[in-house]
Amino acid sequence: MTATAPELRVEGLEAGYYAGQSVLRGVDLRAAPGKLTVILGPNGAGKSTALRVLAGLLPPAAGRVLVDGHDITRVPAHGRARLGIAFLPQGRSVFAALTVHQNLELGGWILRRRRQDLDRALEAAYERYPKLRPLRDRPAGSLSGGQQRLVEIARMMIADPRLILIDEPSAGLAPNLTEEVYEELARLRVEGRTVLLVDQNVRAAVEVADYVFTLESGRNHLEGDRERFERELGALIRAWLRV
């Protein structure tokens, strides 16, 4: 990573998909520089909606998104990529008909006019994720779910992002593959990148977190460091599941 990791701050965020139907209702969040922050909550709490707003894919109805104090609320998604912000969406997002290598090239869109820099970034991706090298010429859609997830992670990392937004990275993966994904999350944290994570794998997410926020019905609920949530996790999960 070539620059200092930034602070992400969200103030009074309101957003939804239909007029008059808010999903987020005045949410405040902070992702500390170089730390891994997790957003937890029951289904429908607004976790994924928050990440879509932060990635620039959904305009908020109110509130502000700040990176190192600079207001980026109206900066479009491609502009946020230039600011060193990357987003790993929920579900499969590979371009199935393109090869693995072509998928990775798309991750370096902002480097497309600097071919040498892009080539170096692609080679660095193969060194970081050596399992992808023998797959580089295969259509991404022909890979297993775990291999596709690795392509998505590698594509996200091509531009060497400083701030990473990750939505449900372990969804649909076998336990051994989930463990690999979380090893990569731990590496991002060690590298000092700012990471904001949403995952239904609550125990794994808390284990890797520095700080945790919970949302309920689109509003802030609880927040605190990992130790607090490790103590209260069982009761929290039971409350969300209504058991």
Is a pLDDT exceeding 60 seen at residue 26? yes
Is a pLDDT exceeding 90 seen at residue 176? no
What number of CA atoms fall less than 13 Å from residue 202's CA on the CB side? 19
CA distance 202 to 47: 13
Residue 243 confidence class, pLDDT cut points 50, 70, 90: very low
Enumerate the domain spans of the chain: 1-84+161-177+185-243, 96-160
- Strand 163-167 to 194-198 pairing: parallel
Secondary structure class of 25 (helix, strand, coil): strand
CA distance 161 to 228: 29
- The number of beta carbons lying within 10 Å of the beta carbon of residue 171 is 16
Is a pLDDT exceeding 80 seen at residue 157? yes
pTM reported for the whole predicted model: 0.92
Residue 15 confidence class, pLDDT cut points 50, 70, 90: very high
Structure tokens at 163: 């701030």
Question: In whole numbers, what is the pLDDT of the chain averaged over residues?
Answer: 92
Is a pLDDT exceeding 60 seen at residue 2? no
DSSP 7: P
Is a pLDDT exceeding 60 seen at residue 27? yes
Predicted confidence (pLDDT) per residue in 60-104, tens digit: 999 999 999 999 999 999 999 999 999 999 888 899 999 999 999
CA distance 22 to 16: 4
CATH code 1.20.1600.10 for 1-84+161-177+185-243 = no
CA distance 23 to 14: 7
